[in-house]
Amino acid sequence: MNKQQQQQHERSMSRVEKGLARRYRQERNFKRLGLGAILMGLLFVSFLFISIFANGYTAFQQTFVKLDVFYDPEVIAPVGETDPDVLSAGHYGGLVKATMRELFPSVTNRRDKKKLYGLISTGAAFQIRERVMQDPSVIGQRESIWVPADDDVDMLIKGHIDLSLPESDRRIKDDQLSWIQGMQEDGRVEKRFNTTFFAAGDSREPELSGIKGAAVGSFFTLLICLAISFPVGVAAAVYLEEVAPKNRWTDLIEVNINNLAAVPSIVFGLLGLAVFINFFGLPRSVPLVGGLVLALMTLPTIIIASRVALKSVPPSIREAALGVGASPMQTITHHVLPLALPGMLTGTIIGMAQALGETAPLLMIGMVAFIVDIPGGAMDPSAVLPVQIYLWADSPERAFVERTSAAIMVLLVFLISMNLLAVWLRKKFERRW
Amino acid sequence: MDEVINRSSTIARELKTGSGAEVGMQVLKESQSSGTVGDIYVDDPRMTCRNVNVYYGDKQAIFDIDLDIAKHQVISMIGPSGCGKSTFLRCLNRMNDTIDICKVTGQIKMEGQDIYDGGLDVVPLRASVGMVFQKPNPFPKSIYDNIGYGPRIHGLNDNKDHLDEIVETSLKKAGLWEEVKDRLDHPGTGLSGGQQQRLCIARAIAVSPEVILMDEPCSALDPIATAKIEELIDELRENYTIAIVTHAMQQAARVSQRTAYFHLGKLIEVGETDQIFTAPRHRLTEDYITGRFG
């Protein structure tokens, strides 16, 4: 190396070193930026989870009141009566009222009595009727049973009612407060696990409302959606990717599928309303129509994911199969599809999770109706989880606030478990080559 | 074989003193009109190719190739990258059909039957003309299923025992039986590269083909695995006709009886391997085997 070269080398090295600090600084800043983005995301997610949980966890408990009910033969039916028609016709609401009057004999005023009866849920009468229908021999006897308290009482016990407000601004009045305190002192008030929330359909009374109707409706809707969108989506993807000639028509179809994936979901709702309900005359509010609409919405997602999965199968596998004389069909069904299936399943489950959380298109086909019954099939009117959340969030009663959050928790549990299933399936069936 | 290589390197040394690339281009121009040098015909051929042209869209990849492939012989196809040797090989079992824009004209006959005849089904053709690829590509299934797949789809086995027998004989012929007999249910992809390639050869053998096409079967393997495959090719010659595309000239010299030299989509010269490597008749062949280009 001569002197000039040596100098040249030293010059360039000094420049490199000068720039080095700047390069490292840029790298550090880049890292910080990425970390900051992730931390911010985590912050928001944790805020979401914390607020939902904080709002909703109380919904898993419900206040119950112990009543010493006298199964009055005069109100229900004579002792020994077993005919269900007669038994169910009894005036059970009267029994609850009588029990409450017994508990607080000092209340005589008609208006006060009404306030007193308001402490107990209207569901109590149904519960007593159930009890009598199950075992008619209790008629004429006295028994202590736990019945749900009214939602206002429930809110009071859970501390959601601000007692510093003037009486006129409160749902619970001063005398009601004293009666509740009296019952509490007697050990007649207790918070218990809220089975109703998981076992009942919707209701106007918060303490009687549950998520089961919506969950079952969501289940049927997704079942229909899966049964249609998975086979159709996979078939379309296989055709487009493996069979169809590459020409202007297939290009056009591909562009359209990509466009459909970006169409706002409410448009699919309108499409479903026009096609399935108005043209084919299917009933409104049923999971069948909901599933069909969601299938239309999910299809582009599944087709795109499946095509990506098919594309990622190495061509060497196709060549190997063709090389031993497999027909194109055998190559696809024996080799390409099994290898692409994990990717297809992942895409499908993510599409299904998206469909599970979808509200807008279902509003268009009448799934926003207030439905109390738990659907028995895909042709029964029903609600779905996200629509139930929407309905409850819209309700004025304070007790629906915590139920909304609880329903969101249930929905999130379903979504997270579906995504975990997708991850698990991918891990399990993923093969290396 | 060593002798052949020695001789060819002697020629190389001699030629290094010779003239440059201008001469090569001159010869190239001449050869376009003159056609193939050497003996393209053999007695009792397995496959005959006449006037084969291959186009990828508007681009012609192969020009007017005439070539016979003799029975129970290894024919190697050599030439620089992009010369069309792989394309030609893939014509022989219509593997090019899978490429949409690829068009083949001319005649390729096997036992008197034109394989590009519209009425011919490619499935039996590919069963009788097996193929081994550049990169080992076992199915992501067990070793047993890799071999058993071909016989199964063609219905070659009468029952389970028969299939076991086919798997065993195929693996034995491919020299892999001793290494894998205790783990037939293990995935084929778990074998080493050389073993995988022998598995692929066994898979091709399992459907009892007449011709086996090999597209640079050793290019992804180490020298020891390569030596094993070459040994295997020599043994297989007894029962099968083999056409092999290779980049390694020494390999062509070691395993083949006939050699065809391709250049820019044309078949320049074909002849006995000994002759091609010791006394090439065409200038381009000589330039290539002596390492002047390629």
Cα–Cα separations (whole angstroms), residue B201 to A74, A117, A313, B162, B194: 93, 87, 22, 20, 11
Cα–Cα separations (whole angstroms), residue B113 to A64, B90, B107: 90, 17, 10
Q: Touching check for A317 and chain B: CB below 8 Å?
A: yes
Nearest-CA residue of chain A relative to B125? Answer: A325
Strands (DSSP E) found in A40-172 = 61-70, 142-148
Q: Touching check for A333 and chain B: CB below 8 Å?
A: no
Task: Map residue A297 onto helix, strand or coil.
Answer: helix
Question: Which residues on chain A are in Cβ contact (under 8 Å) with B149?
Answer: 321, 324, 326, 334
What is the CATH number that goes with domain B2-289? 3.40.50.300
**Which tokens is A103 given?**
């508990």
Residue A377 neighbours by CB under 8 Å, 6+ apart: A220
Give the Cα separation of A174 and B79 in Å (integer). 102
Mean pLDDT (chain A, rounded):
91
**Which tokens is A280 given?**
């084919």
Residue B25 has pLDDT above 80, yes or no: no
Task: Map residue B246 onto helix, strand or coil.
Answer: coil
User: Which of the pair, B269 or B11, is modelled with greater confidence?
Assistant: B269
Cβ under 8 Å to B: A residues 342-401: none
For helices A399-429 and A212-238, the axis angle rounded to 10 degrees is 30
Tell me which amino acid residue B101 is: I
Give the Cα separation of A190 and A192 in Å (integer). 6
Residue of B93, B125, B139 with shortest CB distance to A320 = B139
Residue A339 has pLDDT above 70, yes or no: yes
Q: How far does A226 lie from chain B, in Å, by closest CA?
A: 28
Which pLDDT belongs to residue A273?
A: 94
Residue B7 has pLDDT above 70, yes or no: no
* A325 with B200: Cβ contact below 8 A: no
Element (H, E) at B45: strand B45-56
Which pLDDT belongs to residue B294?
A: 55
Let me know the angle formed at the C-alpha of A421 by A420 and A424, rounded to the nearest 5 degrees.
85
Which pLDDT belongs to residue B17?
A: 41
Give the Cα separation of A361 and A269 in Å (integer). 4
Which of B137, B147, B207, B214 has the highest number of chain A CBs within 10 A, making it the mutation to test binding with A? B137
Residue A364 has pLDDT above 80, yes or no: yes
Q: In what order do the strands lie in the sheet with B266-272?
A: B37-38, B266-272, B258-263, B74-78, B241-245, B211-215, B129-132
For chain B, the residue count is 294
Question: Which residues on chain B are in Cβ contact (under 8 Å) with A432?
Answer: 140, 189
Q: Are B94 and B121 in contact (CB under 8 A)?
A: no
- Average pLDDT rounded to a whole number, residues A129-144: 88
Residue of A245, A322, A432 with shortest CB distance to B100 = A245
Question: Which residues on chain B are in Cβ contact (under 8 Å) with A317?
Answer: 137, 139-140
* A325 with B154: Cβ contact below 8 A: yes
Give the Cα separation of B194 and B198 in Å (integer). 6
Residue A398 neighbours by CB under 8 Å, 6+ apart: A151, A152, A155, A160, A161, A171
**Which tokens is A329 given?**
């069909």
Residue A433 has pLDDT above 70, yes or no: no
- Average pLDDT rounded to a whole number, residues B242-267: 91
* B203 with A320: Cβ contact below 8 A: yes
Q: Please tell us whether the domain made up of A212-429 is placed in CATH 1.10.3720.10.
A: yes
Which pLDDT belongs to residue A170?
A: 87
Residue boundaries of the structural domains of chain A: 61-193, 212-429
A247-286 tens-digit pLDDT? 899 999 999 999 999 999 999 999 999 999 999 999 999 9
Which pLDDT belongs to residue A135?
A: 87
Q: Touching check for B153 and chain A: CB below 8 Å?
A: yes
CB pairs below 8 Å between A and B: how many? 70
B59-113 tens-digit pLDDT? 999 999 899 999 999 999 999 888 889 999 999 989 888 888 888 988 899 888 8
Q: Touching check for A22 and chain B: CB below 8 Å?
A: no
- Average pLDDT rounded to a whole number, residues B48-68: 90
Q: Are B97 and B91 in contact (CB under 8 A)?
A: no
Beta pairing partners, A192: A62
Pairing verdict, β B102-110 and A142-148: unpaired
* A323 with B126: Cβ contact below 8 A: yes
Give the Cα separation of A190 and B187 in Å (integer). 62
Q: Which of A397, A348, A389, A351 is nearest to A367 (CA)?
A: A389
Residue A171 neighbours by CB under 8 Å, 6+ apart: A152, A155, A161, A398
* A316 with B133: Cβ contact below 8 A: yes
Residue B16: pLDDT band by 50, 70, 90 thresholds?
A: very low
Would residue A283 be called left, alpha or beta, if left means φ above 0 and alpha means ψ between -120 and 50 degrees? beta
Give the Cα separation of A130 and A76 in Å (integer). 12
Q: How far does A426 lie from chain B, in Å, by closest CA?
A: 16
* A433 with B189: Cβ contact below 8 A: yes
Give the Cα separation of A157 and A175 in Å (integer). 15
Q: How far does B98 lie from chain A, in Å, by closest CA?
A: 9
Rounded to two decimals, the ipTM of the complex is 0.80
What is the Cα Rg of chain A in Å?
A: 32
Residue A1: pLDDT band by 50, 70, 90 thresholds?
A: low
Q: Touching check for A320 and chain B: CB below 8 Å?
A: yes
Give the Cα separation of A423 and A429 in Å (integer). 10
Q: Touching check for A246 and chain B: CB below 8 Å?
A: yes
Q: Touching check for A427 and chain B: CB below 8 Å?
A: no
- Average pLDDT rounded to a whole number, residues B270-286: 90
DSSP string, A223-240: HHHHHHHHHHHHHHHHII
Which pLDDT belongs to residue B292?
A: 76
B146-176 tens-digit pLDDT? 999 999 998 888 888 899 999 999 999 888 8
Give the Cα separation of A223 and A213 in Å (integer). 15
Question: Which residues on chain A are in Cβ contact (under 8 Å) with B201?
Answer: none
Which pLDDT belongs to residue A293?
A: 95
Mean pLDDT (chain B, rounded):
84
Residue B5 has pLDDT above 60, yes or no: no
Which of A242, A324, A327, A339 has the highest number of chain B CBs within 10 A, making it the mutation to test binding with B? A324
Residue of A324, A334, A432 with shortest CB distance to B207 = A324
* B123 with A325: Cβ contact below 8 A: yes
